[in-house]
């Protein structure tokens, strides 16, 4: 099949003249990504002789092979570095002199880089219980390949070689999934466990004996702009990590002014934009999990359960708890303190206070299943006193339900009133007349107790096994009784019976 493609050539050439092409005409060619990828592979054979070769390297031939490889590396590096400088249109004579000096200085750092990589391999062996040998780590762990290329690229970055260092680290990124900028300064004994999705920014400074897991981001918080609206370059944008720090999976740490203090541990999924003092543990709120033993021998009603929590905290570390998004940290801390003073540590651990703009006529509510107190934001417009009172009102509910355990209680019964006494305010009324918009919904479901004939009107349908509380308390010691289960009746009949009961 033929096509007249020549008609597209003039317009394409015009776009080259107007917009610039992918290469520079009449100039030295740009660095080759493919050639630089081959250089990275050759560097790995130089740094780890025998590990990345297709055939075994006899000790008697190591000197000759190393000499040949260095000579070939010198020629190829010279060519690529020269193209990197010349693509910036620098003076040709000065550029060639600079290239010679750069290549000589860079090759002279290879023994130092090997020394650092030796500590990285040792850190991987000591930090991963699954590692069985040094050979396994060098051959199969992606972090070794990524760190090795970054340490090489970092030396070229320090020698102010343009373009080429970034191509090297992006080659390693494509091979391993680990993205480390060549400008990042990394100390010895650095280990990245698993590694997929790790991002380390240009101005990061990482100390010694640092261990990070997959998905960690050490990034920039914001990008300052100049008067013309352009991003200011060359400033500190990424965090510092001091010695002996461990950062678990998917943690995000941002900002050039952020420093993670020595001997700290950053828990999984943490999000930080502020510095952390040394010897700190940063962790998300502990979540309890219910584990049910799936055993045919387990008797019905006697299933054993176990509370499993996140990693235990060290007594020598300061614990910094990250609260879920939307939680009011100040009010949460106040409520937790009051719960601890009443010797309810489990409630204090899971208790949170947040604002819910969807609340309209309700000042607040408490969910004893997850320990969450939600407040109406309009309370702040009324007074701070009303915010405090409503918060304590809902906290009393949580305290009452926690003390009752699995025993059923009335929402505003004696347990709730006792909680108010313990909170120091004994005369709290059940309801308040606050200037909040009223919203009255019509009931949609009607139920009746078959024993006492009490009518129950509901907006939402009842769940299964719902019975008359008064009858269960009087005749069944407060336990559920099927003979007192509510029966569904027509809505209009329920409304009529409820109105008659109010009149009586």
- What architecture is the 325-440 domain classified under in CATH? 2-Layer Sandwich (3.30)
For residue 305, how many other CB atoms are within 10 A of its CB? 10
454 backbone φψ class: left, alpha, beta (φ>0; ψ -120 to 50): beta
Which residues of the chain, if any, have pLDDT below 50?
A: 1, 297-316, 318, 321
Both tokens of residue 453? Answer: 């004939």
The pLDDT of residue 497 is 86
Residues 128 and 121: their CA atoms lie apart, in Å, by 11
pLDDT one-digit tens code per residue, 295-340 = 554 444 444 444 333 433 444 454 554 555 567 878 888 888 889 8
How wide is the angle at C-alpha 433 spanned by C-alphas 431 and 438, nearest 5°? 105
Instruction: Enumerate the β-bridge partners of residue 164.
Output: none
Q: What is the CATH number of domain 197-224+234-290+315-322?
A: 2.160.10.10
Write phi, then psi, for 74 (nearest 5 degrees): -60, -45
Tokens of 36: 């630089």
Q: What is the pLDDT of residue 20?
A: 61
| 233 CB neighbour count, 10 Å cutoff | 10
Please, what is the angle between helix 33-47 and helix 110-127, to 10°?
70
Q: What is the pLDDT of residue 386?
A: 84
DSSP line for 383-436: -HHHHHHHHHHHHHHHHHHHHHTTS---TTSHHHHHHHHHTT-TT--S----S-
Confidence (pLDDT) at 295: 54
Place of tokens 């920014």: 201
Domain 24-175, CATH class in plain words: mainly alpha
Domains in the chain: boundaries: 24-175, 197-224+234-290+315-322, 325-440, 445-503
Q: Which pLDDT score, from 0 to 100, does residue 298 have?
A: 44
Can you give the pTM of this predicted structure? 0.59
DSSP for 76-121, written as a single string: HHHHHHHHHHHTTT--HHHHHHHHHHHHHHHHTTHHHHHHHHHHHH
């Amino acid at each position: 099949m033929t096509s007249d493609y020549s008609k597209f050539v003039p317009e394409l050439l015009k776009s080259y003249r107007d917009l610039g092409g992918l290469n520079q005409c009449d100039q030295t060619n740009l660095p080759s990504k493919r050639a630089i990828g081959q250089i990275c592979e050759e560097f790995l054979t130089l740094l780890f002789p025998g590990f990345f070769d297709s055939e075994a390297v006899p000790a008697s031939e190591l000197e000759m092979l190393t000499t040949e490889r260095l000579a070939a590396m010198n020629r190829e590096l010279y060519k690529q570095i020269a193209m990197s400088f010349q693509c910036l249109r620098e003076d040709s004579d000065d550029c060639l002199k600079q290239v010679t000096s750069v290549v000589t200085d860079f090759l002279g750092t290879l023994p130092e880089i090997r020394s650092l990589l030796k500590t990285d391999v040792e850190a991987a062996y000591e930090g991963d219980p699954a590692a069985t040998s040094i050979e396994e780590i060098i051959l199969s762990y992606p972090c070794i390949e990524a760190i090795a290329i970054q340490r090489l690229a970092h030396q070229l970055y320090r020698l102010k070689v343009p373009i080429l260092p970034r191509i090297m680290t992006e080659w390693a990124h494509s091979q391993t999934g680990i993205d480390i900028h060549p400008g990042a300064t990394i100390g010895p004994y650095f280990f990245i466990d698993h590694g997929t999705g790790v991002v380390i920014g240009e101005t990061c400074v990482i100390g010694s004996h640092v261990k990070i897991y997959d998905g960690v981001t050490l990034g920039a918080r914001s990008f300052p702009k100049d008067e013309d609206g352009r991003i200011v370059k060359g400033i500190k944008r990424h965090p510092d990590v001091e010695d002996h720090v461990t950062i678990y999976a998917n943690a995000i740490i941002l900002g050039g002014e952020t420093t993670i203090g020595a001997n700290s541990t950053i828990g999984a999924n943490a999000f930080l934009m502020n510095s952390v003092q040394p010897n700190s543990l940063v962790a998300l709120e502990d979540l309890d999990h219910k584990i049910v033993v799936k055993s045919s021998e387990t008797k019905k009603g006697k299933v054993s359960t176990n509370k499993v929590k996140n990693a235990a905290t060290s007594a020598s570390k300061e614990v910094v708890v990250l609260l879920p998004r939307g939680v009011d940290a100040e009010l949460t801390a106040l409520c937790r303190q009051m719960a601890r003073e009443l010797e309810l540590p489990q409630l204090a651990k899971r208790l949170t206070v947040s604002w819910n703009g969807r609340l309209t006529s309700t000042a607040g509510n408490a969910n004893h299943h997850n320990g969450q107190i939600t407040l109406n934001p309009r309370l702040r417009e009324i007074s701070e006193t009303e915010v405090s009172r409503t918060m304590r009102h809902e906290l009393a509910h949580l305290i009452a339900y926690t003390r009752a355990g699995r025993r059923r209680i009335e929402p505003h019964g004696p347990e709730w009133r006792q909680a108010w006494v313990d909170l120091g305010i004994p005369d709290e009324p059940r309801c308040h007349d606050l200037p909040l918009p009223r919203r009255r919904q019509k009931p949609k479901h009607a139920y009746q107790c078959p024993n006492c004939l009490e009518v129950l009107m509901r907006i939402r349908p009842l769940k299964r096994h719902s019975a008359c509380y008064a009858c269960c308390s009087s005749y069944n010691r407060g336990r559920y009784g099927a003979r007192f289960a509510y029966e569904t009746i027509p809505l209009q009949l329920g409304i009529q019976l409820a109105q008659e009961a109010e009149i009586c």
